[in-house]
């Protein structure tokens, strides 16, 4: 493993597989234990440096670090010196001077974790930057697919929705391609990024046409907060063409699974009965996220497996 985890594209097949295998080993080691903790990172300090609101990602990283016995500092930009004008660099250097061995950063600006990694001596983990990448989400998605289907090589994954604003989609495209899966992106033309033709994917605008051949359907949240223009006629029209409801889910093969990185817009990109169905891995993804983030922190801060 490299010193930092900044984007999924940095991971080769060996490193990505090492993370997934380590997560499985950690999960096995903790199974059945009354106290779900390992002493691996005792004496190390992890800082969760969040400049954007987050619930599941911050808590997941916090729980992962604590289960490895690390000391954890949660830093939110709101109510901190950042609100008085302190720069990202000065904030990072201050936290490092206080003994941070690893910094988990979420930032609204694409590329912020890369800049941070040039300023600090410790490891930096990208927990989501702008519309760029969210590598640990892709790793936990790959881990979930492998657990459910038993493989990643040759798995046909359909990623549907707001690809333009989705760091989850970008990270999944690169990681799943590295691990041998075949990815198809489905979205309105207005929600696909410029340059998508150079990505290792197939692009379709017709969800119904690609569902029968899919092993995995990954729905993306429509990110209204990042939209400064009208990208589709209406929520109803979007849901009619790109939402996954029970009728559409019936077109999937019997073994296919449904994923969503959360949080969901129930009734828009995914119907409530689909989200809560046995085929859905949405809750499972949250649980797997802790194991995968434990694996990442262990491999970056605690040495090789």
Please report which confidence band the pLDDT of residue 2 belongs to, taking 50, 70 and 90 as the band edges.
confident
Closest CA to 72 of 103, 51, 94: 103
What is the DSSP track for 60-127? HHHHHHHHTT-EEEEEESTTSGGGGT--HHHHHHHHHHTT-SEEEEEESSTTHHHHHHTT-SSEEEEE
The mean pLDDT value of the chain amounts to 92
Query: What is the spatial distance between Cα 273 and Cα 247, in angstroms, rounded to a whole number?
Result: 11
Cβ atoms of residues 10 and 131 within 8 Å? no
**6: helix, strand or coil:** coil
Structure-token match 């008085």, residue found:
84
Residues identified as active-site: 56-57, 84, 106, 134
First to last CA, the chain: 11
Q: What pLDDT does residue 1 have?
A: 78
Structure-token match 């290792």, residue found:
200
Q: What phi-psi label fits residue 293: left (phi over 0), alpha (psi between -120 and 50 degrees) or beta?
A: alpha
Residue 156 neighbours by CB distance under 10 Å: 17
pLDDT at 305 over 60: no
* Partner residues linked to 48 by β-bridges: 74, 104
Helix-strand-coil split of the chain, %, nearest 5: 45, 15, 40
Q: What pLDDT does residue 15 have?
A: 97
Q: What pLDDT does residue 98 have?
A: 87
pLDDT more than 70, % of the chain: 94
Instruction: Output the six-digit token pair for 149.
Output: 């289907």
* Partner residues linked to 163 by β-bridges: none
| pLDDT tens digits along 113-164 | 999 999 999 999 999 999 999 999 999 999 999 999 999 999 999 999 999 9
pLDDT at 297 over 50: yes
What contacts 60, CB < 8 A, 6 or more positions away?
Answer: 286, 289, 290, 293
pLDDT at 298 over 90: yes
């Amino acid at each position: 493993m490299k010193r930092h985890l900044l984007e999924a594209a940095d991971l080769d097949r060996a490193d990505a597989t090492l993370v997934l295998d380590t997560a499985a080993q950690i999960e096995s080691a903790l199974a059945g234990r009354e106290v779900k903790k390992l002493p691996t990172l005792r004496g190390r300090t992890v800082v969760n440096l969040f400049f954007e609101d987050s619930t599941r990602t911050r808590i997941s990283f916090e729980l992962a670090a604590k289960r490895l016995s690390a000391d954890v500092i949660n830093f939110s930009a709101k109510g901190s010196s950042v609100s008085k004008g302190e720069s990202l660099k000065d904030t990072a250097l201050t936290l490092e001077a206080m003994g941070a061995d690893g910094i988990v950063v979420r930032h609204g600006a694409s590329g912020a974790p890369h800049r941070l990694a040039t300023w600090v001596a410790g490891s930096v983990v990208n927990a989501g930057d702008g519309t760029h990448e969210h590598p640990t989400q892709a790793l936990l998605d790959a881990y979930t697919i492998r657990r459910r289907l038993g493989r990643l090589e040759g798995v046909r994954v359909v990623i549907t929705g707001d690809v333009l604003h989705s760091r989850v989609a970008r990270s999944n495209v690169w990681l799943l391609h590295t691990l041998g899966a075949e990815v198809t992106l489905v979205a309105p033309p207005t929600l696909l990024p410029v340059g998508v033709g150079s990505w290792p994917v197939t692009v379709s605008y017709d969800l119904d046409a690609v569902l029968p051949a899919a092993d995995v359907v990954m729905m993306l949240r429509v990110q209204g907060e990042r939209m400064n223009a009208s990208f589709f006629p209406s929520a109803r029209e979007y849901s009619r063409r790109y939402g996954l409801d029970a009728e559409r889910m019936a077109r999937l093969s019997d073994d296919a699974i449904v994923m969503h990185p959360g949080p969901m817009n129930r009734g828009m990109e995914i119907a409530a009965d689909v989200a809560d169905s046995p085929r859905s891995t949405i809750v499972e993804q949250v649980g797997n996220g802790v194991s995968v983030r434990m694996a990442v922190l262990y491999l970056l801060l605690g040495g090789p497996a």
